[in-house]
Amino acid sequence: MKVISTKKNLPVVLSYIRKASHLHSDVICFPECSFNADVRKPSLEEDLLPIQKESKKGNISVVVNGYFREKDGNIYNRTYFIDNQGKILGCYDKIHPWANEIDKVKRGKTVKVINTPLGKIGFCTCWDLFFPDLFKKLKHKGAEIIFCPSYWIDNLKEEAEFLIAIPVVLSYQYMLFFVYCNAFFKGKPSVSQVSAPWGELAEIKEKRGMAIATLNPQKLKRFRRHLSGAFWGRKL
């Protein structure tokens, strides 16, 4: 989806939650800043109530990101996980802000893995992709799926190639599922992808819409066992 403003983004988010629910999806992930892209006017957690209601109504979990302010006044680039009952199970604050965020948001301190009915879910956000230690920590915390909301709008060809390759690379290196959800901008490398250690499962590129994939945890376990002698036994 395009990332424009809270007022215009919210109806789009709610409509995609309904669409995904009608397709019997278990969880839907939105791009970075999909809830609120204005760091000057950060949201509060209670502003998520419309999404929580739609999540419960549609029996679907939601991963959504935006700028949020805490009671102490600090502003975070924050990703929330809302379960299919509309409850907030946890959130992750971006540890590695992009250049234009450094003086505006407070850095997160810890990696986050949340126990959910869908498995152990970890999070990263956009520029976090360039910091391998973060993924090592997520893996050691037991992450089975990593969600990565992103707002990557540079238009270099090399960056587009990186965004296509990195989800599969990380899936294979850490033996987990990886969901990379980028914002859409015409003429930009707006690539979103769901991947597994054995390759890409679904992709949507340079257009608005949904990429839909089915994750098979049993196949993941078999894949891990198959590679245990050659790879999985090594300490990452």
- DSSP, collapsed to helix, strand or coil, labels residue 85 as coil
Q: Is 64 helix (H, G, I), strand (E, B) or coil?
A: strand
Give percent of the chain with pLDDT exceeding 90: 80
In this structure, are residues 40 and 57 in contact, taking their beta carbons and an 8 Å threshold? no
| Structure token digits, residue 59 | 């029996």
Residue whose tokens read 């498995």: 119
46 CB burial (10 A radius; 0-12, 13-18, 19+): exposed
Of 38, 41, 16, 18, the closest CA to residue 29 belongs to 16
158 confidence band (pLDDT: 50, 70, 90): confident
Copy the structure tokens of residue 92.
């992750």
Mean pLDDT for all residues in the chain: 92
Specify the pairing of strand 27-29 against strand 61-69: parallel
Task: Report how far residue 155's alpha carbon sits from residue 36's, in angstroms, rounded to the nearest whole number.
Answer: 23
Phi, psi angles (nearest 5°) of residue 83: -80, 180
Q: Name residue, tokens 């990696």.
A: 111
Q: Does domain 6-232 have CATH number 3.60.110.10?
A: yes
Q: What percent of the chain has pLDDT over 70?
A: 95
Tell me if residue 30 falls in helix, strand or coil.
Answer: coil
Instruction: Specify the residue for token string 């956009």.
Output: 126
Give pLDDT, residue 155.
67
pTM of the model: 0.93
Which tokens in the block code for residue 220?
Answer: 């993941």
Region for 126 from its dihedrals, namely left if φ exceeds 0, alpha if ψ lies in -120 to 50, beta otherwise: left
| 40-70 pLDDT per residue, tens | 999 999 999 999 999 999 999 999 999 999 9
More confident: 161 or 73: 73
Cβ-based neighbour number of residue 221 at 10 Å: 12
| 150 close to 181: Cβ distance less than 8 angstroms | yes
pLDDT of 100 over the 70 cut: yes
Between 77-81, 173-177, 192-196, 205-209, the lowest mean confidence (pLDDT) is in 205-209
pLDDT at residue 189 greater than cutoff 80: no
Cα–Cα distance, 84 to 17 (Å, whole number): 11
Quickly count: other Cβ atoms within 10 Å of residue 29's Cβ. 25
